Structure 1
Amino acid sequence: MKFILSITALGAALSARFASASPVELAKRAQPQGIDVSSYQPSVDWTTVKANGVQFAYIKATEGTTYTNPDFSSQYIGATDAGLIRGGYHFARPDVSSGATQATYFLANGGGWSADGITLPGALDIEYNPYGAECYGLSTSAMVSWVSDFSNTYYTKTGRYPVIYTTTDWWTTCTGNSAAFGSTNPLWIAQYSSTLGTLPAGWPYETFWQYADSGTNPGDQDLFNGDTAGLQRMATGS
């Protein structure tokens, strides 16, 4: 069976690559806590997660155009019933089909958005290739075009630009550190440390920070850069 990589599975291998340059102390950041999960966390006690202070969750929905998370529905419903703000994410495979094709597949399998106050815009997880060449065989310009294709398709169908999950290292290597998305797409940055370093070009700040691949709660550990009211506004599109 083909191995399906999640954000969690990449964590340990990538930690050393997330070096910080302009430190911001994690201890001083009082933002809402979140987690992201995939089929690697098939059974999540969402009531306990909520009691632990988690306010939002991203759940893996799809990868490429052939994989859907078999646990997505139960995880999504569980997070909803517990009162979390939640959304789906898509693991990008720029080597197998166009950005538009994958955005359409994502939207058809859990990646949609509506202004209901509890749904986060879908996230594009674009990072190190677990199956081959780091940049999926694309040039930097071709990669930027692929991300634009995905992003614009998602926007056309939902009225929201997708969140982009990445690392500064991968983004610099594989997009040439493109600044093309900083004014439209919220940034979800992965950096496993107590300080947040340099962000990819174009983004003056992160919207989400994945700061650890394990913790008190299941899956990866995240922070929202704002307060609870800001998180709720993001789920309404305001």
Structure 2
Amino acid sequence: MTYGIDVSSYQAPSASLLDGMGFVIIKATEGVGYANPNRGQWYSLGRDRAITTGAYHFMRGGDAGSQADYFLANLPGDVDWLALDVEDAGDGLSWAGRVGFILAWHDRVAATGKPVLAYMSRSWAVEVWDNASQEERDRLAAIPLWMADYTGAPGEYSGSAPDGWPITIHQFTSTPVDKNIQLSDVSGGDMPLSTDDLRNIATAVWGGGGAASPMYTDRLDGHQEYPETALFSLQARLGARFGELSGKIDGLAEALKQVQGGNGVDTDAVKAAATEGAKAGVQAIIEKATINLEAK
């Protein structure tokens, strides 16, 4: 999973705030008259770190098209993502009016070809969804939802979320800065894990904190990206199977020792040989796994 922060003029540009982050989303504009003076510096810091950059517009009441144009004219740079921040209770719009604003703003900004997200709190997301027609829900569901719900636990929410609007990014805390976790790919696919993520999983599965199997890690060297859910499913399958085989190995060695009366039986050698066979069995599972661990 990838963590990131979002920033506005309240956060002075600081490279240290980007430590360990995979993305930064920068406030660019608000309404049709405000542009964040720090946006360019934040963009440069993100680019220097080679992390994903995004920009967001704080929605005010008024014309969606004019605000979209103002936002696009004042971006901090060639950002990767664009987002609309919907949280102004004084915007003068009904919930149905907010739905229309979001969709109109999205359509104008999406013409750039860049991914466009919608940001709002959990309660606002529910209201927006509940006040949308079925046709509008179909359109909203195609917009990645960036949802704020300060539970402090990534991916865990304080209440119900819109049923049918997948949460792409969860803003789970605002202390000391707004921190987010990316739960799925902004382009609509499963969230890819990094090679380091996969190697850590392999190590945990294989040896209780020891090194990962060479025949497994070799396959990870060319890794680019794989669906997270499939990887954790594979982790569970491998862990369960190897645990089962390890128990059988111990039982086999003990049975041989009992039969032979302890004479002439090298139980350590038996365990070692059986373990190698077990690893070969686990490798066969890898070969038939639901995801492809070969290099893309």
For normalisation by structure 2, the TM-score amounts to 0.56
Indicate the residue corresponding to 1:32 in structure 2.
2
Which of 77, 80, 97 is equivalent to 1:142? 97
Distance of 2:109 and 2:48 partners within structure 1: 26
Distance of 1:190 and 1:76 partners within structure 2: 22
Query: Deviations for 1:119-155, whole angstroms, at most 9, x for unmatched residues?
Result: 43201000143xx3xxx22223222211111011112
Which secondary structure does the structure 1 equivalent of 2:13 belong to? coil
Which secondary structure does the structure 2 equivalent of 1:54 belong to? coil
Q: Is the counterpart of residue 166 in structure 1 residue 120 in structure 2? A: yes
Report the structure number with the largest CA radius of gyration: 2
Q: Is the counterpart of residue 209 in structure 1 residue 170 in structure 2? A: yes
Distance of 2:65 and 2:29 partners within structure 1: 14
Indicate the residue corresponding to 1:200 in structure 2.
162
Distance of 1:43 and 1:142 partners within structure 2: 35
Pick closer, same or farther for the CA change 1:198–1:112 going to 2, 3 Å.
farther
Q: Is the 8 A contact 2:55 2:76 kept in 1?
A: yes
Q: Which runs of 5+ in 2 are unaligned?
A: 184-190, 195-223, 226-296
Query: Deviations for 1:68-93, whole angstroms, at most 9, x for unmatched residues?
Result: 00111111111111222111010000
Which secondary structure does the structure 2 equivalent of 1:65 belong to? coil
Which of 99, 102, 113 is equivalent to 2:67? 102
Q: Is the counterpart of residue 187 in structure 1 residue 145 in structure 2? A: yes
Q: Which runs of 5+ in 1 are unaligned?
A: 1-30, 114-118, 234-238
Indicate the residue corresponding to 2:81 in structure 1.
121
Distance of 1:181 and 1:111 partners within structure 2: 28
Which secondary structure does the structure 2 equivalent of 1:57 belong to? strand
Which structure carries more helix by proportion? 2
Q: Is the 8 A contact 2:59 2:88 kept in 1?
A: no
Which secondary structure does the structure 2 equivalent of 1:207 belong to? strand
Distance of 2:44 and 2:2 partners within structure 1: 20
Instruction: Give percent identity, aligned residues only.
Output: 34
Q: Is the 8 A contact 2:80 2:114 kept in 1?
A: no
> How many corresponding residue pairs?
181
Distance of 1:172 and 1:227 partners within structure 2: 27
Distance of 2:117 and 2:66 partners within structure 1: 17
For normalisation by structure 1, the TM-score amounts to 0.68
How far apart are residue 112 of structure 1 and its match?
7.1
Q: Is the 8 A contact 2:125 2:147 kept in 1?
A: no
Pick closer, same or farther for the CA change 1:164–1:112 going to 2, 3 Å.
farther
Query: Deviations for 1:81-106, whole angstroms, at most 9, x for unmatched residues?
Result: 1222111010000x2x2111111111
How far apart are residue 177 of structure 1 and its match?
4.2
Q: Which amino acid aligns with 1:190?
A: A
Which of 46, 64, 70 is equivalent to 2:31? 64
Q: Which amino acid aligns with 1:170?
A: W
